[in-house]
Amino acid sequence: MRLKSPPIFIFSIILLVGLLASTFSHAQKRFSLPKIPQIHFGLPHFKNPFVKDSTNKSFNNKRWFKYQKEAPYTKNENAMPIAVGYTDFDENIRDLQLLGKLPANNSLTIRPYILPKSVTYDSLLKAIDPTLKNNGHLVHKKHFDLQLLPFNYLQKYNSHHPYGWNDGPLSFSKGYQYLVSGGVYMHWRNIHLTLRPEYFRTASDQYETSAEWGQVNPSLNKLILGQSSLRIDFGPLSINAGSNNIWRGPGIISSLLMTNNAQGFNHIGFNTIRPIKTPLGSFEFSLFGGTLIQNPNQGFENRLLKRTPIDPYTKYLNSVTITYNPFLFKNLYLGFNRVFIQPTLQEKSKNFKVDYIPVLLPFFRNVYQDNDKPIDQVLSGFIKYLFINENAELYFEYGYNDGKSNLRDLLLDNSHSSASILGLKKIVKLKRNYFLNIELEATRMAQTPSYLQRQAGNWYVHTFTGFSNQNQILGAGSGWGNNLQTINLSLNKNLTKIGIRFQNILQNPSGGINLFDEKGGLAQWRDFSYGLIYKQKFHKLIFNLNIEFINSENYARIENKSANNFYMFFNTLYIW
């Protein structure tokens, strides 16, 4: 049976062209901007102004990736981590890199992002907005720094049914919920400590469900360690432990393996804090193990995420990420992710590699066998290219929900149990420090037609444990087995942003098919989301608002059932 699907990419391109024309016309009238040539990767490159900060470093415009030290100079090379998501300035890092204000040698595929030693937190804030000042330093000496981190207050609301993702411990529920966080960062020589607990309360309003989808969970009221971590550096390498969120992969809206959609989990790892240069190119890597928890008092984001007959409340996750920047192509990044999840209650094999670092086992299963063990594997490869002079980047990630038996299996059934992300980000510089930010991203997690011969289960659900923490998906939060297309278009200056968003979500398109039903199975559920993005600084407060109107066709797979939902994501940051 062939699924009926509108030509979403053609529609998206037509919509984008219209939005660009309208935005440029308004911008020229409102801000007296010059006429902008047609958008392409051949736009002229604008030089960047000097940036100064409280540590008396100045931006070297001739060699933009270095900071020139000037006397008197207070040493503050703290290599501070920037928390994933909404609690800090994580979303600004990508813009700064494409604008030439941060080094382009970091792939940004292993996050939290660690500030290079040439860029302090103070200079980062000024690079984002020259009016920002960090007055949170409690102690600021040569080898010791203690400072307050931004205070964060996040609010989320859904009027009709659950929607929204990448919000950490907040639940997939209807109603109003909030999260409050704040803390301190301490750096002493090569030791870095971040204490950033989170207090949150989730929603629990009733909404319409069906046999296929939906469940109302009791509200949670909890204080957790949140974005806290401890790191000890040894040159470009570090040993770290924490409960903070982790992001892996090149995606901006989604990532196949690891995002901040779920609550962070306790982990310990070994990774690079900056690229390691070799004659063959630069390398970044991360290896860690962590404990995932199931909450028996809460339902899962999707019921099929719970598949194990062992029913453990804890699981062990082992992950490795390697990114390579070839010496011949300085703006090209090639990467690999691999994750194993297994119940902590299973009997140990007394083989350290098998029990604790299975990500280092051979790639093909004809070398090792785990079919009779309660183990799930997810892996992906990705490629990313930076067009530095054109202020743009292009990325692609392709992954498997199951390991391959051998090379023949890989080549003959390449699409089996696969998912992918394709994205483009482009910045167009305008007059008076304004710039236009364009983001396009498409995520496919539904099964390909190969499932008719060989069932794989949807992405994140294979055989046993399910890819979740605290019953929420660890990866792409748009939904289980969903296909998502996103267009973000915004006009920016420093911390001021106004933009629009369009999203199309096809909810688990292969899950409702029944070849023996004359109607073909259940109705296809599709969401169309139309949103407004607004960000504004007011003295020391930064307001970030995202409101969306969602129109659902065949809601919850009920034929001709239409539903409308109002979604609000309102985040407030206070800078000391």
Confidence of residue 337 (pLDDT cuts 50, 70, 90): very high
Contacts of residue 11, defined as CB under 8 A and 6 or more positions apart, other chains included, come to none
Predicted pLDDT of residue 3: 40
Task: Encode pLDDT of 470-509 as tens digits.
Answer: 988 899 988 778 999 999 999 999 999 999 999 999 988 8
Q: Which residues partner with 232 through β-bridges? A: 191, 239
Q: Is the pLDDT of residue 141 over 60?
A: yes
Task: Encode pLDDT of 239-260 as tens digits.
Answer: 999 999 999 999 999 999 999 9
Task: Encode pLDDT of 180-217 as tens digits.
Answer: 999 999 999 899 999 999 999 999 999 998 877 888 88
CA distance 248 to 321: 8
Q: What is the mean pLDDT of the chain?
A: 83
Which class is domain 8-574? mainly beta
Task: Encode pLDDT of 71-81 as tens digits.
Answer: 222 344 678 99
Q: Is the pLDDT of residue 28 over 50?
A: no
Predicted pLDDT of residue 9: 40
Q: Is the pLDDT of residue 372 over 70?
A: no
Q: Give the C-alpha distances (Å, rounded to integers) separating 529 from 85, 436, 445, 503, 551.
A: 21, 21, 19, 5, 6
Confidence of residue 308 (pLDDT cuts 50, 70, 90): low
Predicted pLDDT of residue 305: 62
Nearest to 144 by CA among 77, 81, 82, 53: 77
**Cα–Cα–Cα angle for 488, 274, 355, rounded to 5 degrees:** 95
Predicted pLDDT of residue 67: 35
Give yes or no for a cis peptide into 72 (omega within 30° of 0). Answer: yes
CB 87 within 8 A of CB 155: no
Give yes or no for a cis peptide into 309 (omega within 30° of 0). Answer: no
Instruction: For residues 354-374, give the mean pLDDT.
Output: 77
Q: Is the pLDDT of residue 352 over 70?
A: yes
Tokens encoding 7: 């030509």
Contacts of residue 20, defined as CB under 8 A and 6 or more positions apart, other chains included, come to 39, 438, 489
Instruction: For residues 454-472, give the mean pLDDT.
Output: 76
Among 148-162, 291-305, 374-388, 519-533, which is the least confidently predicted range? 291-305
Nearest to 425 by CA among 484, 489, 380, 493: 489
Strands annotated E in 40-174: 57-59, 67-69, 81-82, 110-111, 113-114, 137-140, 144-148, 151-158
